[in-house]
Amino acid sequence: MDSDKPVNWLGRRKERKAVKLSVDHAAEVLQAVIGMNETVQSFNKGPDDLVERIDRVFDKEREADKVKEEITTELSEGAYLPPSRGHLLRLITTADDIADDARAAAAKLEFLEPGEVDGDISNGLAQLAYLSQECVKPLKRAFTLLFEKENVKESIGETEKVEKMEEKIDYFRANNLIPKIVEWADRSHRPGMTILITQIEENIEEVADQAENTADTIREIALGSA
């Protein structure tokens, strides 16, 4: 087997620290997404604690950033071979984008009044947030299975779950949520609020998109190690 294939660097001592940190990073990313989902669900129910929930998402996103910086420092200082450095950098960059979008979605909710948002749209955003959270959960499991348990087959299976969930999200957006937003925008004539709702919807959807991108990288590493 080619010495540059991912399987050969997963077990090398020098790479183990960065690999372990990447699992920690994925855990923080998932917590940011869970916090985002809880924030959207709270908004949908008419929250009293929205600001506190948003702050918690920010905290989790900052924790993810700290781990990302630690990984970046480790990769820049260590004698890593190009294949391992490239795979890990791409992995943590796309994974970190998930937390960034979760934070952005939660932050923008603070500028909306729950009672002013159409109920169907609010419910749709809540459903989208939940689906996006469920898209990231198997992604975290894929990290653990590949980098801690070195179970290639099961890790690939989890990445396939991410892909299927992302497809489900695309279908839900195209056939349910987006038509309702367009209809409400035409009826309400509130361009500012429409733009904000659209941006929140896009941030939540981007959580799933970036989860799929990250899953693709994990699958690439896993297949290279098979």
**Predicted local confidence at residue 60, as pLDDT:** 98
107 found inside a domain:
yes
11 found inside a domain:
yes
114 found inside a domain:
yes
1 found inside a domain:
no
- The model's pLDDT over 104-128, given as tens digits with 9 standing for 90+, comes to 999 999 999 888 899 999 999 999 9
**Distance (Å, whole) CA 163 – CA 107:** 27
154 found inside a domain:
yes
With both helix axes pointing from N to C terminus, report the angle between 13-45 and 191-224 in degrees, rounded to the nearest 10: 150
pLDDT beneath 70, residues of the chain: 1-15, 47, 78-83, 225-226
**Predicted local confidence at residue 81, as pLDDT:** 53
Count up the domains in the chain and report the number: 1
**Predicted local confidence at residue 1, as pLDDT:** 40
**Predicted local confidence at residue 18, as pLDDT:** 85
Whichever domain contains 198, its CATH number is: 1.20.58.220
Range of the domain at 144: 6-224
**Predicted local confidence at residue 123, as pLDDT:** 97
Q: Of 26, 14, 63, 15, which is closest to residue 155 (Cα–Cα)?
A: 26
**Predicted local confidence at residue 14, as pLDDT:** 57
- The model's pLDDT over 22-32, given as tens digits with 9 standing for 90+, comes to 999 999 999 99
The mean of the pLDDT values for the chain is 91
